[in-house]
Amino acid sequence: MASTKTCDGLKELMVDTLVYQMLVGYNHYGYGGRFGGRTFDLDQTTNAPTVTAAGGAAPESGPSHHTTTNVQERGVDEADIVKTDGKFVYTVHDNQLVIARTWPVAQTDVVARVTFKTLQPQQLYLRGNEVIVQGTATDALDGWNQGRTRVLVVDVTNRKAPRIKRMLDVEGWSASSRVVGDDLYMVQNNYAQLPPRLQQIAQKAIANVPRADQQTLRPWEIQARLAATMRRSLLASVTHADLTSALPRVRSNGTTRQLACEDLYLPSATNQVGMTTLAKISLTTNAVDLVGAMVSGGTVYSSTDAMYVAAPDYTWNYQGAASYGTQVHKFSLGSKQARPSYVATGRVEGQLLNQFSMSEHQGNLRIATTDWAWNGEQGGNHLFVMRPSGRELRTIGALKGLAKGERIYSGRMVGDKGYLVTFRQTDPLFTLDLSEPTRPRVAGEIKVNGFSSYIHPIGNDLLLTIGQDADDAGRVTGVHLQIFDVKDPAHPTRKFHEKVATRSTYSWSSAQDDHHAFMFDPITNTLAFPMAEQRGSSSFNGLAVYRVDPKHGFQRKGRIDHRTLADPVIAKQCADQKSSNPANAQYYCTETYRNQARMGFGISRSMVVDKYILSLSPVGLEIHALAGLEVAATLGWTKVEATSAIAVQ
């Protein structure tokens, strides 16, 4: 890997890529490539959002405790659609940031709404009296041709009057982000733009090449001559402005800075102009740093020191079939004194499941993959230990061929211990000894029916999992919970098993795929997760709530849905159809449609605040007492009326 200190490396890459594209029709430039990128409907309105406010001042005293976003690593915050500080809930809804007071519960109300005109908000962070809203920019900026991720830092010291204190645009499409300490880190997918002028020059160069005698030159010789001619012409035509304009930018409070050539790294051999960038944004100063590498980015994992970006890497045999691997790229997060930087790249066999397939410990990356061969055969599951050596992320230890014929369904690595769940017919839970990085090994194994999709350590060597139960033939039968005792890694045991759905024809929880939807409060031992279930003609889409006792197992507390908030929305749909299209009303006003529509308003998140559980859905917020799940407060998003409007610059 060599630094493009003089932009020469980027120049060569852009020219070679364009030549290859025009000769053989190569149109794939990796993630976010020029021909694979998304387009956006640009909103030409101003950048200033509007704020509507209601309610009174914040109460002085707060709850005894509250849960926060479920994250993978301690000290590494992850963005989500909702955050809470115990007194207030902050969430993105449609094109708004909604701030709702939830403490005291009797005073639950919307305090303010920030309506964004040029931002499609997607997720947020909460940091003291600041809410960091992140999403897609929808307005146009002169000279910016790629998509942009927009970040707004909102001062909510006065919850009734939130104030936009900072706006940033980071060019490219968001892969993921994290907050570590006082810094926001954003991983973006970009591409080095090829100016249309260069394509015209390349076409002209081809037209000016005399056609060679087909009897004296073979087809590949003709192609080589065309390529050489185009390459000479393009290298002479590319300007410094072409190169610098090809690099992504960051705009902070109106000031734009561009990725410098010396901060961009190129692999020794690459034929793509897709790149991954890492932006470090200080949340205490106006400092912004941007580094990048000409590599594809996909799954993102972050420790408190490093960011790892992994992407599928396919190689092809002479028959045109693929074998599957994963490219892994390491970036240093830097420090208060040091800027972030590219560190190294490596490759492993197989493909990742998700971010939990990676974990860093003492400078070593542990990465778990499922290996699929080019002919479709499953070659087992592997765990690799990688460490930088120069610009190479080398494999220093490996455990290969685990559970052939199965694939990884979940994983978790904590310290020098690891856990993998594979599945085909039964669910082996493997305990791993990772204490010797060069010799990772299986410590023990337990086989049970079904599988676990997410593993959550709950202390005292216990693992709480959620997944799907299955019969002896491997047919899944519905959502289940398990608690495994891994105190003795050589002999793990299943202490408790809870079948959440026993009579349904279908059941699923979004917590199986999204760990942010999984909520466990160790103070009250409350477990809550979204639950969708179809049972004959009846259905349920809400929240399942349990008490988890490490000594006695699972106690079902009940279920919550937002039917009372959804029904007025569904009734309005019926009324609108009656007035606009009476023929459709025969369908929209039936009980069958009502039941189906309720399934579309499922609960997505939950939080424990003191002795209450809060649940969030697209139609609103409900608060229930933990003791008996009695309703304590409801707040529908469509019912809130603004009492005043404040322009925010």
CA–CA separation, 282 vs 184, rounded Å? 6
CA–CA separation, 505 vs 533, rounded Å? 8
State the pLDDT confidence band at 212, using cuts at 50, 70 and 90: low
Residue 18 has a pLDDT of: 80
- Looking at every residue in the chain, the average pLDDT score rounds to 86
Q: How long, in residues, is the chain?
A: 649
CA–CA separation, 9 vs 140, rounded Å? 30
What b-and-e string marks burial along 117-143, b requiring 16 or more CB atoms within 10 Å of the CB? ebbebebbbbeeebbbbbbbbbbeeee
Does the structure show a pLDDT above 60 at 555? Answer: yes
CA–CA separation, 280 vs 284, rounded Å? 12
Residue 643 has a pLDDT of: 38
State the pLDDT confidence band at 56, using cuts at 50, 70 and 90: very low
CA–CA separation, 191 vs 269, rounded Å? 17
CA–CA separation, 285 vs 422, rounded Å? 46
CA–CA separation, 103 vs 159, rounded Å? 13
In Å, how far are 125, 382, 388, 458 from 78, measured between CA atoms?
7, 27, 25, 20
Answer for the pair 511, 496: CB distance below 8 angstroms, yes or no.
no
CA–CA separation, 165 vs 182, rounded Å? 16
Q: What is the pLDDT of residues 463-494, one digit of tens each?
A: 999 999 998 888 899 999 999 999 999 999 99
Residue 31 has a pLDDT of: 29
Task: Name the burial class of residue 181, with classes exposed (0-12), middle (13-18) and buried (19+) by CB atoms within 10 angstroms of its CB.
Answer: middle
Does the structure show a pLDDT above 80 at 118? Answer: yes
Mean pLDDT (whole number) for 242-267: 87
- Find, among 293, 296, 286, the residue nearest to 332 by Cα: 293
CA–CA separation, 494 vs 2, rounded Å? 51
Hey, what are 301's tokens?
A: 């994992």
State the pLDDT confidence band at 314, using cuts at 50, 70 and 90: confident
Residue 205 has a pLDDT of: 76
Residue 632 has a pLDDT of: 98
Residue 525 has a pLDDT of: 97
Residue 180 has a pLDDT of: 97
CA–CA separation, 302 vs 332, rounded Å? 10
> What angle, 0 to 180 degrees and rounded to 10, lies between the N-to-C axes of helices 219-237 and 196-207?
130
Mean pLDDT (whole number) for 572-595: 86
- Pairing type for strands 451-457 and 441-449 reads unpaired
Does the structure show a pLDDT above 60 at 172? Answer: yes
CA–CA separation, 223 vs 212, rounded Å? 10
CA–CA separation, 358 vs 352, rounded Å? 8
Say which residue, 283 or 38, is predicted with more confidence: 283
Answer for the pair 616, 606: CB distance below 8 angstroms, yes or no.
yes
Q: Highest-confidence range of 344-353, 578-587, 633-642, by mean pLDDT?
A: 344-353
Q: Which of 223-232, 263-272, 516-525 bottoms out in mean pLDDT, i.e. has the lowest?
A: 263-272
CA–CA separation, 465 vs 221, rounded Å? 60
Say which residue, 201 or 511, is predicted with more confidence: 511
Residue 562 has a pLDDT of: 95
**Beta strands of 207-340 (E only): which ranges?**
249-252, 255-258, 264-266, 274-282, 288-293, 299-302, 306-316, 322-332
Task: Name the burial class of residue 383, with classes exposed (0-12), middle (13-18) and buried (19+) by CB atoms within 10 angstroms of its CB.
Answer: buried
User: What type of residue sits at position 124?
Assistant: L
Does the structure show a pLDDT above 70 at 238? Answer: yes
Residue 129 has a pLDDT of: 97
Q: What is the pLDDT of residues 360-413, one digit of tens each?
A: 999 999 999 999 765 556 678 999 999 999 999 999 999 999 998 899 999 999
Q: Which of 28-32, 444-448, 454-458, 573-577 bottoms out in mean pLDDT, i.e. has the lowest?
A: 28-32
State the pLDDT confidence band at 60, using cuts at 50, 70 and 90: low
